[in-house]
Amino acid sequence: MSETDSSAVRPSAGPPAATLPETVRPRPAGAPRLPRETTRETPDPLVDCAVYVRGERHDVEPDRALEVARELGGYVWLGLFEPTEEELSAIAEHYGLHPLAVEDAVYAHQRPKLERYDDALFMVLKTARYVEHDELTATSEVVMTGEIMVFVGADHVITVRHGHHGELSQLRKALEQQPDLLCHGPAAVLYGIADHVVDDFVEVAEAVEDDVEELEVSVFSPERTDDTPRIYQLKRELMQLRRAVGPLELPLSALADRPLELVPEGMRSYFRDVQDNALRTRDQVAGLDELLSNILQAALARISVAQNEDMRKISAWAGIIATPTLIAGVYGMNFEYMPELDEVWGYPAAVLLMVAVCFGLYRGFKRSGWI
């Protein structure tokens, strides 16, 4: 079943939708839980549903998928996009999902993490996408983030996606071309999603690196530009990528090194490879952030130097202008006995003196680099 015909499927009609208890997570007394608004365009949160047996896909009606998977010894991969609390609660009751994990999946805004609930795993991954732009400005959006929550059980994988990027339809098709990998069970789907997310991080980090290099060239160019707002904006956008990549180290380390019932021994090396890529990207992002900090300091220092140069020029010209003003002021005091006051050449001599002193000051300031 593809993403294009998702309107033909519905979640299990089974038991009535159960509302999550208010005591699941503490809130201030009297504070109501506001409903989360979904941004999806279709009324159905279900994107795709299939049963995988020995690595092969079987299209089954969603309300029978779990039953068929147990009969055939396979597992269900159910894909959801921004489900509401009521919609996910019905699915949670059918699949036996933990209410704490369900609440996290509904309201999102979670840090990347891996949690174990009895015999199930719940993993949160941040997705990232680079926003193309013709020119980096002080308000440019560079990194767009979303979230993918993955419920992993012995006979099911349920993915809940938030954000209008990070689609998993192409990933699902790619994994279906690797039946040997899907034979490892739900852990193989979790690996595919984690690898897909980290690969996106690598692409985003490389694109952001191009923006950083562009800023670096602009800061050290001969032209006088104020790049501080652009640098600060890029640092803010890079922070989102750091928040997505950094916390992944512990979850991936647990999947790669810790013995987990739902992760076969043969899958640990796959997760270790994803962990290596994530750590390398984390170091790259940290390096870019440090480089941006250095570029910001250089930009501020350059602005300070430019201001000092401007002040020196202003001071030099003020000194040059003050000289004729001083001479004219002395001769304007109207004393009776002053040199050359009654001479015909007195006025030209005073003007010539002003010009000569101003020229001498100009030559001196020019030689010292003040002008």
Instruction: Please indicate whether residue 312 or residue 275 has the higher confidence score (pLDDT).
Output: 275
pLDDT for residue 58: 93
Instruction: Using DSSP bridges, classify how beta strands 75-81 and 156-162 pair: parallel, antiparallel or unpaired.
Output: parallel
Could you tell me if 287 and 318 lie in one domain? no
Examine the pLDDT at 198 and tell me if it is beyond 90: yes
Could you tell me if 257 and 355 lie in one domain? no
Provide DSSP, 264-301: -GGGHHHHHHHHHHHHHHHHHHHHHHHHHHHHHHHHHH
Q: Which of 48, 156, 37, 172 is nearest to 108 (CA)?
A: 37
User: Taking residues 245-252, what's their average pLDDT?
Assistant: 92
CA dist list (Å): 250 to 113, 115, 120, 217, 246: 8, 11, 18, 37, 9
Could you tell me if 250 and 345 lie in one domain? no
pLDDT for residue 134: 79
User: Taking residues 57-72, what's their average pLDDT?
Assistant: 92
pLDDT, tens digit, 9 for 90 and up, residues 40-52: 566 788 899 999 9
Examine the pLDDT at 309 and tell me if it is beyond 70: yes
Domain boundary among the residues 303, 333, 359 is at: 303
pLDDT for residue 20: 31
pLDDT for residue 101: 92
Examine the pLDDT at 358 and tell me if it is beyond 50: yes
| Angle, CA 258 vertex, CA 257 and CA 264 arms, to 5° | 85
Confidence of residue 34 (pLDDT cuts 50, 70, 90): very low
What domain count does the chain have? 2
Could you tell me if 360 and 249 lie in one domain? no
What CATH number did the domain enclosing 357 receive? 1.20.58.340
Could you tell me if 354 and 217 lie in one domain? no
By percentage, how much of the chain surpasses pLDDT 70?
84
185 dihedral zone (left: phi>0; alpha: psi -120 to 50; beta): left
Q: How far apart are CA 20 and CA 32, in angstroms?
A: 14
Expressed as residue numbers, the domain containing 244 is 3-303
pLDDT for residue 138: 79
Domain boundary among the residues 303, 329, 352 is at: 303
**CA dihedral (335, 339, 342, 345) positive or negative:** negative
Q: How far apart are CA 219 and CA 299, in angstroms?
A: 6
Q: Which of 18, 38, 122, 121 is nearest to 83 (CA)?
A: 38
Could you tell me if 229 and 285 lie in one domain? yes
Q: Which of 27-31, 144-148, 318-322 has the lowest mean pLDDT?
A: 27-31
Examine the pLDDT at 202 and tell me if it is beyond 60: yes
* pTM (predicted TM-score): 0.74
User: Taking residues 190-219, what's their average pLDDT?
Assistant: 91
pLDDT, tens digit, 9 for 90 and up, residues 8-32: 333 333 333 333 333 233 334 333 4
